[in-house]
Amino acid sequence: MIWTPRLATSNDIPEMEQLIPLSVRSLQATHYSPMQLESALGPVFGVDRQLIHDRSYFVVEQQGEILGCGGWSKRRSLFGVDAARSEPDPELNPAVDPARIRAFFVHPAWARRGIRSSILAACEEAIQKAHFRVTELVATLTGEPFYAAHGYIVAERYEVNITSNVRLPVVRTAKVLSPPD
């Protein structure tokens, strides 16, 4: 099946807020403990409304149901939700900064059917149109093989401190994009 991502709107937020925990609890469970996942839901895994406002967040839907979401950012944050920010992140400079791939989630029943790939392709196309030549992301351990298959190279492995006793291992990756035709 060929998926056609569309830009997310604020009307999609309630459905995404239901999709994200379902996706995280199911698809991330092979690499993270229930405590890690529950602690990360909200501060790390959640909706960043700034991406929707910037028109850089996509959804894939079928018959009106959102099956997956993900996006990119021209702002400093590598991951996380916007709830803790009092104002928008500063914008990046495409001449020297990499764009960010952000917040990919797929409904477990629709995993491994090309939804993430279609969203990633839409993001990379939009990133190039915004004149960025490099993109980076902080991948979960679950997402690392997917991004590697799409040309993302590991730059760093580290742990995100979620609480004083809960850390989430992640992988920062990067990719140089081809110049647009």
Give the model confidence (pLDDT) of 145-172 as tens digits: 999 999 999 999 999 999 889 999 999 9
Q: What is the pLDDT of residues 86-122, one digit of tens each?
A: 677 889 999 999 999 999 999 999 999 999 999 999 9
* pLDDT, average across residues 125-139: 96
pTM: 0.92
**Where residue 49 sits, what CATH number does that domain have?**
3.40.630.30
Over 80: is that where the pLDDT of 74 sits? yes
Over 90: is that where the pLDDT of 78 sits? no
Q: Is 61 a member of any domain?
A: yes
Neighbours of 77 (CB within 10 A): 18
Q: Is 181 a member of any domain?
A: no
Q: Is 144 a member of any domain?
A: yes
pLDDT of residue 133: 95
Q: pLDDT band at residue 181, thresholds of 50, 70 and 90?
A: low
Number of domains in the chain: 1
Q: Is 1 a member of any domain?
A: no
Provide the percentage of residues in the chain whose pLDDT is more than 70: 96
Provide the percentage of residues in the chain whose pLDDT is more than 90: 85
pLDDT of residue 81: 74
**Radius of gyration for the alpha carbons in the chain, expressed in angstroms and rounded:** 15
Q: Is 95 a member of any domain?
A: yes
Degrees, nearest 5: CA angle 124-128-134: 80
Neighbours of 132 (CB within 10 A): 21
Q: Is 29 a member of any domain?
A: yes
Instruction: Give residue 99's domain range.
Output: 6-176
